[in-house]
Amino acid sequence: MKTRITDLLKIKYPIFQGGMAWVADGDLAGAVSNAGGLGIIGGGNAPKEVVKANIDRVKEITDKPFGVNIMLLSPFADDIVDLVIEEGVKVVTTGAGNPGKYMERFHEAGIVVIPVVPSVALAKRMEKLGADAVVAEGMEAGGHIGKLTTMALVRQVAAAVNIPVIAAGGIADGYGVAAAFMLGAEAVQVGTRFAVAKESNAHQNFKNKILKAKDIDTVVSASIVGHPVRAIKNKLSTTYAKAEQDYMRGLKDEQEIEELGAGALRNAVVDGDVDFGSVMAGQISGLIDKEETCEAILKDLYYGAADIIQMQASRWSDVEK
């Protein structure tokens, strides 16, 4: 299962760990990279010194490639761009904005640039800007989401661009990885399963909420006001839904609703408030029921996919006979 992505990034497994804000720190990213995947530090809205500390931590754990996810709407985006160049980071993934103005600097520094996209149009635009690959993320993913499902999005993006495509959203085992490859992806990005890894520093309450979740336990908030977010339903999501109904009736303004989500992800991940914090997780949560090491997760994803692909190939061969 060597692909253009494994060759480009010099990684063993074509598997990225999602750059989840507050969750994807140096410990988690370092463990994933050390085990053969691509660990990614979630920059989120963190200032330069915080991201620097996480980069230093990864370098303590491994000498293998790792990435940093830069949220381009962050007030510290320019600082983080400077930082990844200074620190010799090999890969940058981007979200919530256009990386075009940084593209030349990234490439001059030898950085592979991989934007996260929710549509074919944006994938094509990123290719024209010089992106080395794109992450096509479907709405099954946790956190901020687009409108298309992974199955619909990945196939259409793979057919529309010539650069490698990484599939994301709703992937947590070998079956999901195999499906992504059949759709034309050359790697996958996995978030929720790594969020509950043994090396993840997310609060145990946060992990337990995911481990106990069923297939229908995630909801999408902020569809009316703001950017849609998928999380496991709790008192916060119920409050948010009521507030959006009040907004539609003219009983609340936009600022009041936005304030409900301020700091909510940190409250869940760091403080363990899974009632009024935002437990961002994907629809695949119902398939995840145990904590494992990053190495065990990577092997299960990779070899599980290989076994499934071989099994299906054998079935087709038997039919032809």
**Which string of b and e fits 235-247 if b means at least 16 CB within 10 Å?**
ebbeebbebbeeb
Asked if 43 and 134 sit in the same domain, the reply is yes
Asked if 76 and 19 sit in the same domain, the reply is yes
Residue 41's SS3 state is strand
Mean pLDDT of 230-237: 96
Evaluate if residue 32 carries a pLDDT over 80.
Answer: yes
Asked if 153 and 189 sit in the same domain, the reply is yes
Give dist(CA 171, CA 190) in Å, integer: 6
Q: What is the residue range of 156's domain?
A: 4-202+285-320
Q: Considering just the CA atoms, what is the radius of gyration of the chain in Å?
A: 19
Q: Is residue 208 part of a domain?
A: no
Asked if 32 and 151 sit in the same domain, the reply is yes
Evaluate if residue 229 carries a pLDDT over 80.
Answer: yes
Q: How many CA atoms lie within 13 A of 170 on its CB side?
A: 20
Mean pLDDT of 89-118: 94
pTM of the model: 0.92
First to last CA, the chain: 26
Q: Is residue 54 part of a domain?
A: yes
9-26 pLDDT, tens digit each: 999 999 999 999 999 999
Q: Is residue 113 part of a domain?
A: yes
Q: Give the position of tokens 């978030």.
A: 191
Asked if 269 and 305 sit in the same domain, the reply is no
Which distant-in-sequence residues (6+ apart) come within 8 Å of 10 by Cβ? 65
- Do the beta carbons of residue 177 and residue 301 sit within 8 Å? yes
Taking the CA atoms of residue 118, residue 121, residue 127 and residue 132 in that order, the dihedral angle to the nearest 10 degrees is 10
Asked if 113 and 128 sit in the same domain, the reply is yes
Give dist(CA 176, CA 302) in Å, integer: 10
| Residue 43 dihedral angles phi and psi, to the nearest 5° | -70, -40
Give dist(CA 68, CA 65) in Å, integer: 11
Asked if 22 and 44 sit in the same domain, the reply is yes
What are the tokens at 112?
């592979």
Asked if 270 and 280 sit in the same domain, the reply is yes
- Side by side, the strands of the sheet bearing 229-232 are 143-144, 229-232, 218-221
Mean pLDDT of 221-248: 88
Q: What is the CATH classification number for the domain harbouring 131?
A: 3.20.20.70
* Residue type, position 4, single letter: R
Integer angstrom CA distances of residue 15 from 131, 146, 187:
19, 21, 6
263-305 pLDDT, tens digit each: 899 999 999 999 999 999 999 999 999 999 999 999 999 999 9
Give dist(CA 50, CA 234) in Å, integer: 29
Asked if 14 and 71 sit in the same domain, the reply is yes
Mean pLDDT taken over the chain: 94
DSSP letters, 227-269, are S-EEEE-SHHHHHHHHHHHHHHTTSS-HHHHHHHHTTHHHHHH
Mean pLDDT of 245-256: 80
Give dist(CA 107, CA 114) in Å, integer: 12
Asked if 130 and 246 sit in the same domain, the reply is no
Asked if 150 and 234 sit in the same domain, the reply is no
- Do the beta carbons of residue 44 and residue 95 sit within 8 Å? no
Share of the chain above pLDDT 70, in %: 98
Evaluate if residue 104 carries a pLDDT over 70.
Answer: yes
Asked if 268 and 313 sit in the same domain, the reply is no
Count: domains in the chain: 2
Evaluate if residue 261 carries a pLDDT over 90.
Answer: no
Evaluate if residue 257 carries a pLDDT over 80.
Answer: no
| Residue 60 dihedral angles phi and psi, to the nearest 5° | -70, -30
Beta strands in the chain (DSSP E): 15-17, 39-42, 66-71, 91-95, 112-117, 134-137, 143-144, 165-168, 187-190, 218-221, 229-232
